[in-house]
Amino acid sequence: MKKAAAAVILAFLLLAPVAAADVRIAGVDTSGYPEVRLTVVAPAGTAAPQLSENGTPAAGLQAVNLGQAKSVVLAVDRSQSMAGASIRDAAAAARSFVAAKGANDQIEIVTFGHQAVTLTGFSSSAADADAALSGLGVDAREGTARWDAVVRGATALAQQGQPGRVIVVVTDGQDVSSTATFAEAVAAARSAHASVYAIGIDGPGFTPAPLRALAADTGGLFSEASSSAQLSALYASIARQLSHTWQLRYVTAARPGQGVTLSASVAGAGTATRRVSLPDTGLATLPSTPPPNLLPASAWRSSLAPVVLAGAVGALVLLACWFAAGARRGSWLRTRLAPHLGPSERPVKAKRRRQGRSFVRGVVAATEQAFANVKQFRAVQRLLTRADLPLLASELLYICLGCAVAVALVFLVAGAPAILVVLFMLAAGAAPIAYVMSKARRRMKAFDNQLPDLLITVAASLKAGHSFRHAIQAVVDEGAEPTARELRRVLTETRLGRPMDEALAEMGERIGSKNLSFVLNAVTIQRQIGGSLAGLFDVVAETVRQRQQFARKIRSLTATGRMSAYVLGGLPFLVAALISLISPAYMSPLWHSSTGHTMVAVALVMLAIGSVVLKKIVSFRG
């Protein structure tokens, strides 16, 4: 009964000054100049305080009541000095505080003994925090890492979207094992815009001065309990204190180093005034600071500086001439080839010439010349030809770079994590190539579907007594795209003097169809050893049709496996996106920590390996 009465009296003594006071400025933080942050305590149930600077209303004032919606880090001491009733009372009082939280409040539990440990992430549900506190025990190793816990909590709060941010620290000893200092703890709390509410349990070796200074420097409150039995009353008093505590933020109009008078007023409750000095290390030092030089001043005064500058200018002029010459050579070549190209190709080339700029054409031509002998560059050009896109490989390269840079800028402006920026930049850069590959596959598939009818048409023309060239011309006149377009190109090349065998062989390489390669090999063998070409085309057409039917059957049998591969490959990304939308705090360590980045990289590598294995399982090569 005596302990209960003492707790009630202590709560009354804590709340009485708050009820009696009208308006009070609990703390001012000017470390984020030009933004100034104030913590103002006003009577419960009143409107948001109004703020003025030197008698002028504060510009862009933002007021947040800590009792409505806030993120709270509950840091509980579990060092060996808390053994016995202290740790039990501290856990019970913390569970009562969690149970009485607001519906919109999010709480994270941090404990500290010889080191600080995060037990739960931010959650609006009290179940996780209650489960963590119910199993709270004393640390087996000696030490108290109080400032590490404050820094860890402030770092977590900095990633939260709620404007109200509070750190509640409960401890009974001195800090003896933190790697962070007191100044670093204050700086971390200020950087996160968090107020620290400290509760000290009186006992041997306890020093309240650092906790009192920490609370005062961050706009919080320090409370001292003579025993752990009073913690529940102190927690309740903090909860009530937060309900009429306001965090004000605004952008000051004063210059660095000047003193300002801040006045916080509430209608019908009074006014509080405080005089503060702004830090003198802000923008005032910028005009007197010389801009950084990439080279020392002695390098510019050297006798070799004019020679180096002249050489650099000359190199730039030669590079510009090289681009211009490459552009003229490309234009000259297109002019000479234009009369010999088919009618369907000239408008596309003319349209591209009209739309292009001379400088861009010069850069593209120079890039083509620089990478002309690179194997991968030639492979990209063949892919573009196979997809029937009027682009050069260098143009596709610049398109990929432009997409990657544009997406990276968008995500950087949106404030996305660095790892997501890199991933989406790579995806955007690969998207144009993926589109070209998809179009090339669709075009090759369309050609394969038309190949049996093509062979039957050629065989019928040969049986009617026409030559092989006239048979191809019949397919060009009556066939569908893309078959007619490719054979028209073959006839155009033969008119320019190229042998028919070479033109057909290049068409097979250009299209990339295995069935067409099979047909061309059969034709080449027949032309060497003789025989009925019409009969050969009939046999080959039937063979190709049977191969296609067999491939379709295999594809239908492996449809279930392919769908399973798609689901297994896309499920991790879908789940990650959904969890990020539902509970961003839960996924925050994955995107904002080095360990999370490592886990994401390992997961992507494992997904890539699994995708390759699944593709090998369900694929078939005929």
CATH number at residue 77: 3.40.50.410
Res 333: pLDDT: 56
Is residue 196 a contact partner of residue 190, using CB atoms and an 8 Å limit?
no
Highest mean pLDDT among 221-225, 499-503, 561-565, 604-608: 604-608
Domain annotation covers residue 299: no
Res 335: pLDDT: 64
Is residue 276 a contact partner of residue 262, using CB atoms and an 8 Å limit?
yes
DSSP 3-state of 52:
strand
Residue 535 has pLDDT above 70, yes or no: yes
**Interval 216-226 mean pLDDT:** 80
Closest by CA position to 38, among listed 22, 21, 24: 24
Is residue 151 a contact partner of residue 180, using CB atoms and an 8 Å limit?
yes
Report the distance separating Cα 458 and Cα 522, nearest Å.
14
Res 300: pLDDT: 53
Let me know whether 27 and 143 are in one domain.
yes
Q: What is the H or E stretch that residue 534 is in?
A: helix 533-557
Token pair for 80: 């060996």
Let me know whether 400 and 445 are in one domain.
no
Residue 265 has pLDDT above 60, yes or no: yes
Let me know whether 521 and 565 are in one domain.
no
- Helix 2-20 / helix 231-243 crossing angle, nearest 10 deg: 20
Closest by CA position to 326, among listed 290, 372, 387: 372
Let me know whether 103 and 218 are in one domain.
yes
Residue 182 has pLDDT above 80, yes or no: yes
> What are the b/e assignments for 131-157, b being 16+ CB within 10 Å?
ebbeebeebeeebbbbbbbbbbbbbbb
Residue 20 has pLDDT above 50, yes or no: no
Taking CB atoms within 8 Å and a gap of at least 24, the contacts of 595-598 are 596/419, 597/419
Report the distance separating Cα 378 and Cα 76, nearest Å.
64
Token pair for 292: 């950084």
Res 621: pLDDT: 64
Let me know whether 496 and 375 are in one domain.
no
Token pair for 6: 């003492």
**Rg (Cα) of the chain, in Å, rounded?**
38
Residue with tokens 């390669």: 517
pTM over 0.75? The answer is no
- 73: β partners: 108, 167
Let me know whether 464 and 341 are in one domain.
no
**Interval 123-145 mean pLDDT:** 83
Report the distance separating Cα 506 and Cα 272, nearest Å.
87
Let me know whether 444 and 483 are in one domain.
yes
Polymer length of the chain: 622
Domain boundary among 226, 261, 278: 278
Domain annotation covers residue 410: yes
Q: Is the dihedral of CA 432, 437, 439, 440 positive or negative?
A: positive
114 or 230, greater pLDDT: 114
Domain annotation covers residue 284: no
Cβ neighbours around 429 below 10 Å, total? 19
How far CA 476 is from CA of 299, 307, 513, 540, in Å, comes to: 70, 64, 19, 20
Is residue 137 a contact partner of residue 104, using CB atoms and an 8 Å limit?
no
Let me know whether 116 and 249 are in one domain.
yes
Number of domains composing the chain: 4
Domain boundary among 278, 293, 308: 278
355 Cα distance to chain centroid: 35
Residue with tokens 């083509």: 368
- 165: β partners: 71
Domain annotation covers residue 300: no
Residue 189 has pLDDT above 70, yes or no: yes
Let me know whether 371 and 472 are in one domain.
no
Cis peptide bond N-terminal to 34, omega within 30: yes
Helix, strand, coil percentages (3-state) for the chain, rounded to 5, are: 60, 15, 25
Domain annotation covers residue 311: no
Confidence of residue 285 (pLDDT cuts 50, 70, 90): very low
Let me know whether 350 and 270 are in one domain.
no
Domain boundary among 495, 527, 550: 550
**Interval 307-336 mean pLDDT:** 65
Q: What is the pLDDT of residues 466-484, one digit of tens each?
A: 887 888 888 788 777 788 8
Domain annotation covers residue 324: yes
Domain annotation covers residue 499: yes
pLDDT-above-90 percentage for the chain: 0
Instruction: State the Cα angle at 109 between 105 and 114, rounded to 5°.
Output: 155
pLDDT-above-70 percentage for the chain: 83
> What are the b/e assignments for 307-327, b being 16+ CB within 10 Å?
eeeeeeeeeeeeeeeebbebb
Res 307: pLDDT: 65
Closest by CA position to 364, among listed 396, 342, 317, 337: 396
Let me know whether 546 and 563 are in one domain.
no
Domain annotation covers residue 305: no
Residue 488 Ramachandran class (φ > 0 left, ψ -120 to 50 alpha, else beta): alpha
Q: Is the dihedral of CA 607, 608, 613, 618 positive or negative?
A: positive
Residue partners of 574: CB distance under 8 A and separation at least 6? none
Confidence of residue 452 (pLDDT cuts 50, 70, 90): confident
Let me know whether 159 and 142 are in one domain.
yes
Confidence of residue 282 (pLDDT cuts 50, 70, 90): very low
Closest by CA position to 156, among listed 125, 116, 128, 126: 116
Residue 293 has pLDDT above 60, yes or no: no
Q: Which domain holds residue 576?
A: 559-618
